Amino acid sequence: MIGDQDKTVVAAGQATSGLSSPEAGPEASQEANRAAAFDYKAFLSYSHMDKKWGAWLHRALEKYRIPPNLQLSEGAKNPEAPQHSGSRTIGRIFRDRDELPAAEDLTEAVRKALATSEYMIVLCSPNSAASRWVNKEIIEFKRLRGDKYVLPIIIDGEPFASDNGAPERECFPPAVRFKIAKTGGLSTLPAEPAAADARKDADGKQRAVLKLLAGILGVGLDQLVEREMRRRQKRVMAITAGAILAMIVMATLTYEAVKSRDAADRSRAEAEDLVEFMLTDLREKLEPVGRLDVLDAVGEKVLSYHENQLEYEDASDDDIGRRARAYHLLGELHWRRGNWADAENLFNQAKAATAELLQRDPNNTKRIFEHAQSIFWVGSQHYERGNFTETEHAFREYKAKADLLIAKEPENTDWLIEVAYGNHNLGDLLLRGKNRPLDAIPYIRDAADLFQKAFAERPNSLFLKKYVAVEFTSLADAHRYFDTYEMVSRFSELEKETLDELVKADPRDLGIKRQLLYWNLREGWLLAIMAQQKIAFERYQAALELAKILLKMEPDNELWQEDIAMIGYHQANALMNTGEYIKANYWINEADGVAVKLFGEDALISRHRVHLKLLGDLVKLKYEINDRGILSSTAKINSVMELVSSQVDMLKQTQRGRWLIVSLSNIKLKLLLAHDLNDEAKHRFEQILKLVDASNHHQVPSVIYALLQMSETMGASESVKMFRKILLDRGYLRSQASVGTDCIN
């Protein structure tokens, strides 16, 4: 949040202590008496593309506890009205949880809710501004109650942007911006709405809710803020330090609940509210600041609570849903911290939970979606371990679920995005896991088209635009297998242009920074192949700065640690290729300092860890051989080659793995030749060519280049001629002469 200043949109002449409450006057007493007859305190109107915001605000309002002895402001409604005479909550809030049908008018249920609601709260965003249903609801309510009972709250976009030439950023629906005419339609007279503003750089969520409450309760905002500050201070202090204690209290409440059915119901409701808070709001607050340790404790306590509850067959859908979300939360945290076995176990349990929900209601699109997420995460664990057959089975099942969703609801953009993910996952697997670029490209292109279509429907979604950039990356990587450097660069430039636009739109987005990190790495790899080592080093340095930003946010995230170690080894290699061995040694030590901490008992449980370990060994061997000579490094070389042999089945499946096999084998061949073991060297050379499928020229430039170097070591002139021609034709060599340096990709 930028400061604590009040940026609420307020009409000229209105009070700024909160949203304006209905003016006192001769009708005040009559209105207070009528309030008692309303079924709902407020009708919550919003676009269903903002359903997460709707759920948040609904929960915040209905759960708000009115401070005791609250002093009503002068001009407020009759203090004898029900909301101030004993009740500690403001009353029920109506929220339509279902999409409206494809009809021309509001449903009877919605009309009834509008007629029996005292206030209307409008979630204002570009989505709601474009929603004809939101507009219809506001018009209907204004006809019944008038302008003064409509309370807007801004969640995205800009107020009155349509008046300033930016209609796509407009947050106020037309029925909010204009008054109702005597005929019952919209007039051209401006309504001058006073709105709470939940955006981070304005009121923020908490203050915006208090403004709404001040307007509904007819009190001064300062009264609520002062009381809420005292209440929040205690609560915030307890969130991180007392998370475990809260879980103990929750467990105690649950234990005590069995003594009485009524007590059990109350305790269970409180416990479930706490669980839901921890799975949603608390995670939202702690995850961006890297408090993974607190989230770990939360997830464990949530599961501890649920494991003491009923078995699936006796549990409610909500219970099972919360349990599945807890499994997903913990699974993601373990995955990000490198605890692969724990992550896999948790995702399997999440899959069992969502499968149970889907079995209960197989045609429910929400249940299909939830189960699809579980399938994806299970498949991702297989992907990390290099089990690509199992990965493909899971990813195809995920895509089938996505196709089913869009078949059931063709106009649902969320399901369109799921289909795009399904194509993306299969394209990525076929490309990077199974070395089938020509099979992968149709999936990647379909994913790119679908993400662009979804972005056209939601032009304010930076998240979707990020995925457009991701597909440009995949297209560049796919074309690297067989196409020219010029063609690869075209896709790379499209990716960079998109990322630059995203950075300009949101400089704080860490996801964009990670994409930029890998863009710099890939550019460094290509430049290293083309003997532009100094520029390659600059790219690696830019990648390192981005990786440090990510690690600062999440110090325990082992994925970021892997990135920093990997970049350090790349930097060392680029420096050695220009003869700067002293500087290279510095970066080797820097990378080792991070990498060593990552290799525990399960050091090689994922393909990324295997790649990182062998990458470090390769760079350190290169440095040691230059310093001491190849014969002095015999023991080290043989030890590394034993590790290669133990992991060869995993390594040969990916281009990165094949490059490592060839590059390290080239050092082994040089050692054999130094010992005059020429026949053994020739036999090993032929084995390596067969192992990495060297006759298949659809491989990335770094693999072809490593094969060229290995062929030069062995003096295999025909192989040298063939591999050199491939690189020349694809634009990675400038002449018939070999570059003569190693590259890492």
Per-residue pLDDT tens for 489-531? 899 899 899 999 888 888 878 778 888 998 998 888 888 878 7
| SS3 state at 152 | strand
- Residue keyed to tokens 């099972």: 320
Per-residue pLDDT tens for 141-170? 999 988 889 999 999 999 999 888 888 999
Domain 28-227 has CATH 3.40.50.10140: yes
Tokens (6 digits) for 724 = 């050199």
| SS3 state at 79 | coil
At 179, phi and psi to the nearest 5?
Answer: -80, 165
CA angle 628, 633, 636 (to 5 degrees): 140
Q: Residue 731 CB: number of other CB atoms within 10 A?
A: 16
CA angle 253, 91, 27 (to 5 degrees): 160
Q: Residue 556 CB: number of other CB atoms within 10 A?
A: 16
> For the ranges 51-60, 415-424, 550-559, which has the lowest average pLDDT?
550-559
Fold of 599-729: 1.25.40
Per-residue pLDDT tens for 189-218? 888 888 999 998 888 888 899 899 888 888
Q: How much is the pLDDT for 233?
A: 58
pLDDT over threshold 90, residue 14: no
Q: How much is the pLDDT for 677?
A: 96
Spatial separation of the C-alpha atoms in residues 6 and 45, rounded to whole Å: 24
- Residue keyed to tokens 């049908």: 101
Query: Is 270 exposed, middle or buried (CB count within 10 Å of its CB: 0-12, 13-18, 19+)?
Result: middle
| SS3 state at 738 | coil
Helix axis angle for 678-691 and 655-674, nearest 10°, is 170
Render the burial of 204-241: b for 16+ CB within 10 Å, e for the rest: bbebbbbbbbbbbbbbbbebbbebbeeeeeeeeeebee
Q: Cβ(661)–Cβ(647) under 8 Å?
A: no
Q: Which residue from 206, 152, 196 is spatially nearest to 1, judged by alpha carbons? A: 206
Spatial separation of the C-alpha atoms in residues 64 and 93, rounded to whole Å: 12
pTM score: 0.56
What are the residues whose beta carbons fall under 8 Å from the beta carbon of 55, sequence distance 6 or more?
Answer: 95
pLDDT bucket at 289, cuts 50 / 70 / 90: very low
Q: How much is the pLDDT for 552?
A: 85
| SS3 state at 315 | coil
At 733, phi and psi to the nearest 5?
Answer: -120, 145
